[in-house]
Structure 1
Amino acid sequence: MSDLSQRIAALSPEKRKLLLERLNQKKGDIFSGSQIVSQSRESNSFPLSFAQQRLWFFDQLQPGHSAYNIFQSMRLVGSLSVGVLEQSFQEVVKRHEVLRTTFTTVDGQSIQVIAPTPTFRLLVVNLQQLPEDKREVEVLRLAHKEAQHSFNLAKGPLFRVTLLRQSETDHVLLLTMHHIISDGWSIGVLICEIAALYEAFSLRKPSPLSQLSIQYADFAVWQRQWLQGEQLETQLAYWKQELGSRLPVMELPTDRPRLTIQTFSGARETLMLPKTLSEKLKALNQRQGITLFMILLAAFGTLLSWYTGQEDIVVGTDIANRNQAETKRLIGFFANQLVLRTDLSGDPTFLELLERVREMTLEAYAHQDLPFDKLVDALNPKRELNRSPLFQVKLVLENTQTPSLELPNLTISSLKVENKTVQVQFDLLLELNETEKGLFGVWEYNTDLFDTASIVQMSRNFEILLGKISTHPETKLNELKTILSEADKQHNLAQEQVYQNIIQQKLMNVKRRNNSRL
């Protein structure tokens, strides 16, 4: 997840100083006198954070659903000490109370309960008895099964680790956590700590990690106490002004009519933007003193406006929500969702649109502390069973890369596990990652609404749009939309020609067969 400081870090020093001054004027010293402190553990039960509360409600409606599983898999080749790896995970479970937390209800109130540190046992599945050509198939089967295996929030544990042994020097590590105790940032924390602990324990040294000053439960207590009164009203006032009046519903053209009840059946399609294009976009954001995310948001809004014919575009995004230094070292569910509303009216140039987007996003970041579900409750939009509230399309730029696991005497690589049952929460989600080769993206879409071909074409149109923007950002939006229309027309004509050629070839084949019978 990318928080405000990370998004602004890419700016030039002059622009960064100016924007930070403006942002601080908007936000003020909201955390003054609100330091998170460690709570007494005497009762051993604590309130849920607002983010946890949402997933708890979801689990009550659909118990044991795997939609909120966080799954990681990696191959470890070399000399692995299973005992040291187990000891490392034992220490991480000891350090982070959230990894031994369960959830229940007392007197109608949901609470989180922290268990004493258990003896951690690494589940080792030995596949060496299988023929070598069958082991990899079994690894993929077990990995897929593990990714879909649900959790019981009341019983736990909500953190599982499985080691698949293919040979003495070839293992696959499977990590699964429920989202209620973790997020994307947390995976990075976990990997860094396992690497440091494994290296130290391999040398029979003590843990090199400093003691944590707070735990996730302390954050949950603080959040409940802090977000009330004046702080809550300040946050609510901004969002009510920004979103409270006639919030538009995005009407993307779909391949099938929308069902009366929202479905979660989905699929994924990848996108790879060349490095040359990514570098041009970065050069643009440096010239304009904005972030890459702002450029992508403005371009994405332009694309959606062309598809829908709407000029008031609302999309969601994720934010890390780790504003205090103490929270950056914790495993837990901190991530929040922001609603970003872009005005594309008046046929501005793309540069003028960027100014609008910059103003809007900075305001949103300045009011990022209001949990999404409290925002939904406050705005109380008309609830529809076939749409997610407030926004149906989401854009995420993951510019905090999850570190790769590095262990002594081991070569570690990711294991790609095909997920045949993708669960989606929105009509459309585009998640982009900065890589050495360029911007890599994944489109996640609802298959009850869209065909794969439609998403592939949308991806192609997005790349065309970014290409034009990167070289001619002074172009007006209507001209950009004309370019998209022409590109789409040419593509459809080419596809139609391919289709006609196939039909013609089939007719010729039938004719030849008929002639051969005469």
Structure 2
Amino acid sequence: MTTTATELPAVVTDIAPLSPGQERLFDAEFVLPDGSWPAPGTPTRLRPIDTAAICIDGPLDTAALSRAVTALVARQSALRTTFRRRPDGTPVQFVTDRTPGPMSCQTLHLGAGQDLPTAEELLRHAPARLVDPRHDPLFRARLLRLDQERHVLLLQIHHAVSDGWSIGVLYSDLSELYNAAHAGRDADLPAITRSFAAHSRQMRAERGGPEEQRQLAYWRRRLAPPLPGRPTEPQADGLSPVDVAPVLVPADLVRGLRAAAATSVRRGGVAGPFLAALAVVLHRHGGERDVRIGMMISNRARPGAEHLIGYFVNTAVIRLHVHPQMTAGDLVAAANTAVTEAIEHQALPIQDLYQDLRDTDALGQGPLYRVTLALNSMRTRSLTLDGLHCQDIDLERHGPRRTPTSIEQRWVLDERAGHLAGTLTWRTDTATRPGIAATLTGLDQAMRTVTNPHTTIADITTTLPRATTEAR
């Protein structure tokens, strides 16, 4: 089953520059080393389209779902976007008026005793393939019928037009649009006063302006030299092979982290204690006392941005000084402060900060950070369709098999039903599976011990396993 496009030619309704996040993405994954764009059909480093699968039990109104998908694409202009280059080489995003036509439903026959299709079966119907952002649809919806009252909805969206926050918006919008279509009423959704393209123009206009200069002054102070770090060993193509491991933080542990953050001298959310525990593990394994982690920040402080699908996300550098005699309470408070201030100074594009640090010789030998964290809390549950039970199906993650050389670990976690679940992607030339197993075990132990504010970092690290087989 596919969502088919209308037969009429699409009309371009808006042209806008790339957002800073899209600019980073295209530079890292699509643009060739000489700065040119690849010829159509040429393989690129662009990651595959992401696929989500939702099992829907109950009397699904397929016509209402089809209308909801069409209305979603009409509402969210990022889902109608492709990318081009102007004659002068400037990349731009093209927004069209094209919306999907009626959605068909394909029957999928399960094997004897099979309750749900396997991930391989689902991905055969919606392959996580590479797309060409110049002409391929960057959002797709497909419906599979398992029996009269059980379906699987496959949603595919490319990260060129979405981020972690966007997926929560997509689920919320699609749920309300379906419920309204099923009930025969108007959808009760927040008005979209400015498109993602309009926000991209604003972000471009603010580059180098007074607010960016104010935020740049803060980050210069926060990242004042020295920034110690070992040089990165270059690869021929700037990429390194990676592997992936699942990560699960159970609900009781998440509650403990939240309690520690709420009772800290400087209060915060779950991100602070999690970062503190991760910093302790990195300190234990690498001996570093100056720990820097690149944290994905939503970058949606502008009015109206919270209701949009689009690639707003920015990266903030969380810098923590870890000393054996400091207490867990001190480290959690420092992490809470770093996260709070990062949110207050989230609009400065990380590439602009990086360039400034290089221009002023403040960067040091190594990269700004070697570990990144994306902690998504905008989609805490599945679709909420009236009269139906919806549950997400875990699919094998078909992420990049190679990653930029400077990044050694990528943590991606989503908050679901009180727990955190996701993946750790690591460079196989810097760590082995036994080393990563020690990292995950150590993180679990560190998260449990940083909730005791009086425990010293030395006491915590002595209980953690050491990754003795990390580098190869």
Note the C-alpha offset of 1:192: 1.5
Note the C-alpha offset of 1:97: 1.4
Picking from 425, 443, 465, the partner of 2:446 is 465
1:444 aligned partner: 425
1:194 aligned partner: 174
Separation in 2, partners of 1:406, 1:139: 22
1:272 aligned partner: 249
Q: Give the 3 Å change call, closer, same or farther, for CA 228–457 of structure 1 in structure 2.
A: same
Kindly indicate whether the alpha-carbon contact (under 8 Å) linking 1:271 and 1:441 is maintained by their aligned counterparts in 2. yes
Which range moved further: 453-462 or 133-142?
133-142
1:284 aligned partner: 260
2:143 aligned partner: 163
Structure 1 residue 307 corresponds to structure 2 residue 285: yes
Separation in 2, partners of 1:424, 1:141: 25
Note the C-alpha offset of 1:163: 1.3
**2:432 aligned partner, one-letter code:** D
2:382 aligned partner: 404
Which whole-Å deviations, capped at 9, do the CAs of 1:469-496 have from their partners, x for residues lacking one? 323x223323332333xx559x99xxxx
Which whole-Å deviations, capped at 9, do the CAs of 1:297-356 have from their partners, x for residues lacking one? 222212211111121111111111111331111111111111111122473222333343
Q: TM-score, normalised by structure 2?
A: 0.82
Q: Give the 3 Å change call, closer, same or farther, for CA 438–421 of structure 1 in structure 2.
A: closer
Separation in 1, partners of 2:290, 2:164: 30
Kindly indicate whether the alpha-carbon contact (under 8 Å) linking 1:321 and 1:368 is maintained by their aligned counterparts in 2. yes
Identity %: 26
1:317 aligned partner: 295
Q: Give the 3 Å change call, closer, same or farther, for CA 349–109 of structure 1 in structure 2.
A: same
Kindly indicate whether the alpha-carbon contact (under 8 Å) linking 1:79 and 1:409 is maintained by their aligned counterparts in 2. yes
Structure 1 residue 59 corresponds to structure 2 residue 30: yes
Note the C-alpha offset of 1:153: 0.8
Q: TM-score, normalised by structure 1?
A: 0.75
Separation in 1, partners of 2:118, 2:255: 42
Picking from 56, 68, 72, the partner of 1:92 is 72
Q: Give the 3 Å change call, closer, same or farther, for CA 468–167 of structure 1 in structure 2.
A: closer
Picking from 4, 7, 17, the partner of 1:47 is 17
Q: Give the 3 Å change call, closer, same or farther, for CA 420–118 of structure 1 in structure 2.
A: closer
Separation in 2, partners of 1:271, 1:134: 26
Separation in 2, partners of 1:179, 1:281: 29
Kindly indicate whether the alpha-carbon contact (under 8 Å) linking 2:54 and 2:382 is maintained by their aligned counterparts in 1. no
1:213 aligned partner: 193
Kindly indicate whether the alpha-carbon contact (under 8 Å) linking 1:294 and 1:361 is maintained by their aligned counterparts in 2. yes
Q: Give the 3 Å change call, closer, same or farther, for CA 379–120 of structure 1 in structure 2.
A: farther
Note the C-alpha offset of 1:157: 1.6
Separation in 2, partners of 1:430, 1:138: 25
Which structure has greater helix proportion?
1
Segments of 4+ moved more than 4 angstroms: 62-66, 130-139, 257-261, 432-441
- Which residues in structure 2 correspond to 1:484-495 (within 5 Å)? 484=464
Kindly indicate whether the alpha-carbon contact (under 8 Å) linking 2:293 and 2:369 is maintained by their aligned counterparts in 1. yes
2:228 aligned partner: 248
For the residue of structure 2 that corresponds to 1:179, the secondary structure is coil
Query: Any unmatched runs of 5+ in structure 1?
Result: 1-40, 493-518
Structure 1 residue 141 corresponds to structure 2 residue 121: yes
Q: Give the 3 Å change call, closer, same or farther, for CA 460–100 of structure 1 in structure 2.
A: same
Give the structure with higher Rg (CA).
Answer: 1
- Which residues in structure 2 correspond to 1:267-416 (within 5 Å)? 267-273=244-250, 275=252, 277-288=253-264, 289-291=266-268, 292-345=270-323, 347-380=325-358, 389-416=367-394
Which whole-Å deviations, capped at 9, do the CAs of 1:341-378 have from their partners, x for residues lacking one? 11224732223333433443333332211112222232
**2:275 aligned partner, one-letter code:** L
Note the C-alpha offset of 1:432: 4.3
Give the number of aligned pairs. 439
Separation in 1, partners of 2:13, 2:439: 53
Note the C-alpha offset of 1:136: 5.2
Q: Give the 3 Å change call, closer, same or farther, for CA 421–224 of structure 1 in structure 2.
A: closer
2:107 aligned partner: 126
Q: Give the 3 Å change call, closer, same or farther, for CA 454–223 of structure 1 in structure 2.
A: same
Q: Give the 3 Å change call, closer, same or farther, for CA 86–250 of structure 1 in structure 2.
A: farther
Picking from 475, 486, 493, the partner of 2:455 is 475
